[in-house]
Amino acid sequence: MGEAESNNPTLERVVDSPRVWTTLITNTKYISGLLTLDHSLKCHGSKYPLVALYTDSLEPEGHAALDARGVPKKRVNYLLPSVHKDFSNDVRFYDCWSKLTPFSLVEYERVVQLDSDMLVLRNMDELMEIELDHPSLEGKGERVFAASHACVCNPLKRPHYPEDWIPANCAFTSQHATPQIAQTQGAPPSTGLGIVNGGLQVVNPSIAVYDLILAQLSNPSSVGDYEFADQSLLSDLFKNRWVALPYTYNALKTLRWPGVHSDIWVDNNVKNIHYILSPKPWDEREEGQEETHDWWWEANDLRLAEEKAKGVAADGF
């Protein structure tokens, strides 16, 4: 068994579908987000199931919450580079390497990886059909995976972010003059710094591609430069060879802020909002909170009401 296969030792589908959404869960802090994400996919009529990819670090109460609601799940290994990369300024990135696992799930034809801090606002099943390289190309083609650009504006002016993370280098800035186009087309992958946001990845699983990823994880000189974990690795390893999706599929909540990318943001066009940064919506609920957090709470309240009607015991999630 090769190294890639060992990361996915049970090549059996946990659902009867060749195409799936997946989301990584490593601890109970994100369970509420995952459950509401799953509910939002169903509310908007997705034909495809969500599979929770869990690591050994997920607590028993997390498993119980998933099982009580019938969310299918699959154990995956916790991925880390061969050498330690310090993310003490952003500890969330330690978990992010494991978001590369979907490339190894070859029991499926198509995997769309979603972060658990996302909320689906409109059906986006078309992501299961967009053209990507066939696995036989082994990562040598021009459409290895699909994703949206990362916003490199650093609107909160975090001092540990790279100096070149400025609005002038942001792919979304390049679309301010053509907001209508931005609703349906992403800027070319070479635009700005050419960095993907790893929150949503559209993948045709391939052992050959996953082997390339694992080899890169074992390269100390490369990993040392990857300030943003999985998305840095993908942007480097497959530079300009990915499909750039419009912001609407991975609408970072910060894009909506005045002075960031409000020039292109249209509420009614957003299909999937991504609640990056802390606090997460489920961590607090208060008067006058960010409007997009109200959207999450509306969806969450609907989920809880439906669960109560079905007899799902309240468990704090």
Amino acid letter at 176?
H
Q: What are the backbone dihedrals phi and psi of residue 292, each rounded to the nearest 5 degrees, phi first?
A: -65, -25
Mean pLDDT of 66-93: 73
Per residue in 25-62, pLDDT tens? 999 999 999 999 999 999 999 999 999 999 999 999 99
Question: What integer pLDDT is reported at residue 91 of this predicted model?
Answer: 45
Distance CA 120, CA 129 (A): 18
Question: What integer pLDDT is reported at residue 141 of this predicted model?
Answer: 98
Lowest mean pLDDT of 112-116, 184-188, 227-231, 238-242, name the range. Answer: 227-231
Which residues lie closer than 8 Å to 93 by C-beta, 6 or more apart?
87, 228, 229
Question: What integer pLDDT is reported at residue 221 of this predicted model?
Answer: 66
Per residue in 158-191, pLDDT tens? 998 999 999 999 999 999 999 999 999 999 999 9
Which residues lie closer than 8 Å to 206 by C-beta, 6 or more apart?
103, 106, 135, 138, 139
CA distances from 123 to 33, 140, 276 (A): 18, 31, 21
Question: What integer pLDDT is reported at residue 199 of this predicted model?
Answer: 95
The DSSP secondary-structure symbol of 314 reads P
| Average per-residue pLDDT for the chain | 92
Compute the CA torsion angle 223, 249, 171, 292 (nearest 10 deg): -100
∠ CA(146), CA(300), CA(268), 5° rounding? 50
The number of beta carbons lying within 10 Å of the beta carbon of residue 66 is 21
Confidence at 92, pLDDT banded by 50, 70, 90:
very low
Domains of the chain: 3-309 (3.90.550.10)
Residue 206 has pLDDT above 50, yes or no: yes
* Rg of the chain (C-alpha set): 19
Lowest mean pLDDT of 206-220, 242-256, 274-288, name the range. Answer: 206-220
Mean pLDDT of 77-89: 61
Question: What integer pLDDT is reported at residue 86 of this predicted model?
Answer: 52
